[in-house]
Amino acid sequence: MKTVTVLSSLILAASCLQAQTLPSQPPPGIKGEVLETQNVGSYTYLRLKTSDGEVWAAVPSTSVQKGAQVTIGNATTMRNFESKTLKKNFDSIVFGQIVDPNAKATAPHGSATAAPAATPLAKVAKASGPDARTVAEVVASKAALNSKTVLVRGQVVKVNLGIMGKNWLHLQDGSGSAADGSNDLLVTTLDRVAVGDVVNARGRVRTDLNLGGGYAFAVLIEDATVRK
């Protein structure tokens, strides 16, 4: 399953920012000198001088000084992006978090670790209850489960925190197959978790989302409540 880092409906609901196109695949990270900062709502916009030229970035609201050297981790590039609050159009802007490139643990509150995805556990016990499903069951029964609430227990193997006011998680529980993507489930949530956590995620199934630009997604769980 491809990684989704933004859904148009969630962007509109979560902030005053509006994307005109879908994000490109995330770069490994952006390093540069801060040339300019602008604080708007829950975001800090940074104009950076990098080895590839100037780049605009947006991170969760923070205090950073002009001239500082920063690394933007968990980065996602948006094309043709309009900030209504700044009244500015960006040909390209990177959304992510300021991280310590040498950190091995979670960065300070308001930013996120740039650690690689976790090695999933061999098996995670299925949640209990009438709406409990494994990752593979949600994928296989996506049509029947569309718009219904499910409970999935799994390990967080990948996470992007604070992107467009949401946290974006990938859960695996040992079911399904990597060959067809049935072993991995995308979840959006307001709850904060870390890579490696084993959690219960309860939310509404969305299926067959075609957002244009070649981005079509078979299934995900949105606006989930996530608990350890």
What are the residue boundaries of the structural domains of the chain, listed by start?
Answer: 8-98, 132-227
Cβ atoms of residues 78 and 92 within 8 Å? yes
Please check the confidence at residue 34 and state whether its pLDDT lies above 90: yes
Check residue 189 and give its pLDDT. 92
pLDDT confidence bin for 16, thresholds 50/70/90: very low
Q: Do domains 8-98 and 132-227 have the same CATH topology?
A: yes
**Is the domain defined by 132-227 classed in CATH 2.40.50.140?**
yes
Tokens 């980065």 -> residue: 75
Check residue 141 and give its pLDDT. 95
Check residue 83 and give its pLDDT. 79
Give the 3-state secondary structure of residue 134. coil
Domain 8-98: which CATH number of 3.40.50.300, 3.30.70.360, 3.30.70.980, 2.40.50.140: 2.40.50.140
Please check the confidence at residue 13 and state whether its pLDDT lies above 50: no
Per-residue pLDDT tens for 52-108? Answer: 899 999 887 778 889 999 888 767 777 788 777 788 888 888 887 787 655 433 333
Per-residue pLDDT tens for 163-211? Answer: 666 788 889 999 998 888 889 998 989 998 888 899 999 999 998 766 4
Check residue 107 and give its pLDDT. 33
Q: How far apart are CA 197 and CA 194, in angstroms?
A: 6
Q: How many CB atoms lie within 10 A of CB 105?
A: 8
* Residue of higher predicted confidence among 22 and 127: 127
Cβ atoms of residues 91 and 56 within 8 Å? no
